[in-house]
Amino acid sequence: MPANILLVEDEPAIQELIAFNLTQAGHHVLRASTAEAALTLVKNALPDLVLLDWMLPGVSGIEVAKRLRADERTRHVPIIMLTARSDEQDKIVGLETGADDYITKPFSPRELLARIKAVLRRRAPQMTDDTVEIRGLKLDPVTHRVSGAEAPIDLGPTEFRLLHFFMTHPERVHSRSQLLDQVWGDHVFVEERTVDVHIRRLRSALEPTGHDALIQTVRGTGYRFSAQG
């Protein structure tokens, strides 16, 4: 489950230690020592998760969390607050600001990695490497294998990511621009009809086993993956 993690921490030794552990665990780490640097990095590319120190020089971590939550583009980025405070009241403030979790220093690398995994699973299920299965359609993110009623299905990389996103976010309508953000990546400039092209390819790959019916067109809005039929 390698993720792009933005680490915002002003104490060099702690930043180094956390970055080392995250990298060892296979994550890609971007580092920032101030709120301003963090917000600039987020502007360039959306991370999969933000590890955010509460006490930063100048603009605080809490303020960064508030800004990320207030912006449509960054609203859904998972945030874990890092802090030396263990006050229950502070924890409540942190979570109310929109942080997904809260971890008190000092913490063990194992605890941190477990929290990251839990938050990613909850907030971005397509980031985890759990096998998903819906109505006999099975997708394994580790081996990149897809099968329908036990028969292997061959998918291109984009169709694979599209299907993984659909299967981890079923029963919801996704607009073309949401799909572009989530599947193609942030700040990728492709036309919205590109989505339709890949949906068509995905449907035709799923057609032999009848799983194409799971992908519904919602007129005027976008697409929905539904097992309700």
Binding flag, residue 83, Ca ion (CB under 5 A): no
130 binds Ca ion (CB under 5 A): no
Question: Which structure tokens are listed for 170?
Answer: 């079923």
Interface with Ca ion (CB under 5 A), residue from 55, 59, 113, 134: 55
Q: Considering the rule CB under 5 A, would residue 10 count as an interface residue with Ca ion?
A: yes
Q: Per CB under 5 A, which region of 9-17, 106-114, 155-163, 214-222 contacts Ca ion?
A: 9-17
Name the 3-class secondary structure at 73: coil
Residue in the block written with tokens 């997708």: 139
Nearest residue to Ca ion, by Cβ distance, number only: 55
Q: Which of 25, 30, 53, 199 binds Ca ion (CB under 5 A)?
A: 53
Instruction: Rule CB under 5 A: say whether 48 interacts with Ca ion.
Output: no
Smallest gap from Cβ 126 to Ca ion, in A, equals 31
- For the CB of residue 56, give the shortest distance to Ca ion in the complex, in Å: 6
Distance between CA atoms of residues 70 and 68, nearest Å: 6
Tokens of 144: 């990149």
| Closest residue by Cα to residue 224 from 148, 214, 139 | 214
186 binds Ca ion per the rule CB under 5 A: no
CB nearer to Ca ion: give 57 or 157: 57
What would you report as the CA-atom Rg of the chain, rounded to the nearest whole angstrom?
A: 19
Asked if 61 interacts with Ca ion (CB under 5 A), we say: no
The per-type count for the chain, helices as H runs and strands as E runs, is 8, 12
The pairing of strands 151-153 and 145-148 is antiparallel
The piece of 45-53, 148-156, 193-201, 208-216 that touches Ca ion (CB under 5 A) is 45-53
Question: Are the beta carbons of 106 and 82 closer than 8 angstroms?
Answer: no
Min. distance of Cβ 59 from Ca ion in angstroms? 12
- Closest CB to Ca ion among residues 10, 186: 10
67 and 39 Cβ atoms separated by less than 8 Å = yes
DSSP character for 149? T
CB of 48 or CB of 53, closer to Ca ion: 53
Q: Which residues bind Ca ion (CB under 5 A)?
A: 10, 53, 55
